[in-house]
Amino acid sequence: MSVVRPYGDTTGDGMVQLSFTLPVKHDKVAEGAAVQLANKMGMDPALVVHAKAMGPDFTFFVVYGRVHHLVDTSKVEVVERDYPLLTPKEVNAAVKARLRRRLTVVGACIGTDAHTVGIDAILNIKGFAGEKGLEYYRELRVVNLGAQVSVPELVDRAITEKADAVLVSQVVTQRDAHLLNTREMSAAFREAFPAARRPLLVVGGPRFDETMAGDLGVDRVFGRGTTPGEVASFLVHRIKEKKAA
């Protein structure tokens, strides 16, 4: 059955729970306002089961109620990640099995961009969003070149470090600097390496469009909110593909 409703304790009862805060003092009006919000969100009837003042100006509510919406699972559209998300352990195991050596990742902010926030979030062990950065992975060797690295310098280091992957972060987008820099970088790598030997090129930053990889000449573009685990999983996925090819 592809058409369903939320399930409380009986099929089709449509029961959901919701909690939120309104910026009003706690009184009967506040509770009425909470019901009104729940009604507008489609809960009918809506039952305020808990209301608590948080200081003089805010009230916290827990609301239970019925929604009448139907969802059709056959009509759900999802953009699937085209590679599986792996745990650090699985990434390490995959690298060990495929390469029989550590996978080398060289990272940098290129051009005049001095914002290492992105590259550090992905590479530093400290990590991002509760996930440890790539330095945490035993089977990844991380060389973080930091900020304001020129493209020729990056290519040189990629050669000397025998990089399997190059990660570039771009935050500054004035006059499309992020796009120009990325194209310059990918062109330089294509020039310096035969196609089969070229390291994986990955760029990331808050203003990139993830569909632009082909246009920019890189293997993958990561947008806002990307976690280290996603990047690591992608790298492993691509070395597997390469090996298989």
Partner 1 sequence: MSTLDRKLHLDPATVRRARSLARKVGKPIVKLATGHTTVSVERATLRLAGLAGADSEGTPWVNRLADVVRADVGLEHGLALPVWDALVRGEAEDLSTLAQKAAVGSVRFRLPEGRDATRARSAAKKQVGAGVRRIDQRRKERDRLIKKIGDAPRQPWIYLIVATGDIMEDIPQAQAAAREGADVIAVIRSTGQSLLDYVPEGATREGFAGTYATQENFRLMRAALDETSKELGRYVRLTNYASGLCMPEIAALAGLERLDMMLNDSMYGILFRDINPVRTFVDQRFSRQVHARAGIVINTGEDNYLTTADAVEAAHTVTVSQLLNEYFAKEAGLEDWQLGLGHAFEIDPAVPESFRLELAHALLARELFPDAPLKWMPPTRHMTGDVFRGYLLDGFFNLAGALTGQGILLVGMMTEAVVTPWLSDRDLALQNVRYVLDAAGGLREDFRPARDGFIVQRAHQVLAESIDLLDDIANHEKGLLDAIADGTFGLMKRPADGGKGLDGVAKKSSGYYNPATEILEAAE
Active-site residues: which are they?
Answer: 126
Q: Could you tell me the smallest distance in angstroms from the CB atom of residue 54 to partner 1?
A: 5
Is 139 among the residues that bind partner 1 (CB under 8 A)? no
Which residue matches tokens 């029961």? 15
Closest CA to 65 of 44, 84, 83: 44
Site for partner 1 contains 136 (CB under 8 A): yes
Distance in Å, CB of 120 to partner 1, minimum: 7
Query: Which segments of the chain are extended strands (E)?
Result: 3-4, 15-22, 43-54, 58-67, 71-72, 103-109, 140-144, 165-169, 200-204, 220-222
SS3 101: coil
Biggest CA-to-CA distance, the chain: 73
Q: With binding defined as CB under 8 A, does residue 113 bind partner 1?
A: no
Closest CB to partner 1 among residues 24, 192: 24
129 touches partner 1 by CB under 8 A: yes
Asked if 157 and 142 touch (Cβ cutoff 8 Å), the reply is: no
Binding partner 1 (rule: CB under 8 A), the pick from 104, 124, 169, 186 is 124
Considering only residues 35 through 94, tell me which ones interact with partner 1, judged by CB under 8 A: 52, 54-55, 58, 60
Backbone torsion region of residue 14, taken as left when φ is above 0, otherwise alpha when ψ lies between -120 and 50, otherwise beta: left
Q: Does 120 bind partner 1 (CB under 8 A)?
A: yes
Number of residues that bind partner 1 (CB under 8 A): 24
C-alpha distances in angstroms, 205 versus 113, 137, 162, 210, 223? 11, 22, 25, 10, 5
230 binds partner 1 (CB under 8 A): no
How would you classify the pairing of strands 103-109 and 220-222?
A: unpaired
Q: Which stretch in 65-73, 103-111, 116-124, 192-200 sits in contact with partner 1 by CB under 8 A?
A: 116-124
In angstroms, give the least distance from the CB of 211 to partner 1.
Answer: 26
The radius of gyration of the chain from alpha carbons, rounded to an integer in Å, stands at 25
Nearer to partner 1, 71 or 125 (CB): 125
Residues that bind partner 1 (CB under 8 A): 19-21, 52, 54-55, 58, 60, 115-117, 120-121, 124-126, 129-130, 132, 135-136, 138, 144, 146
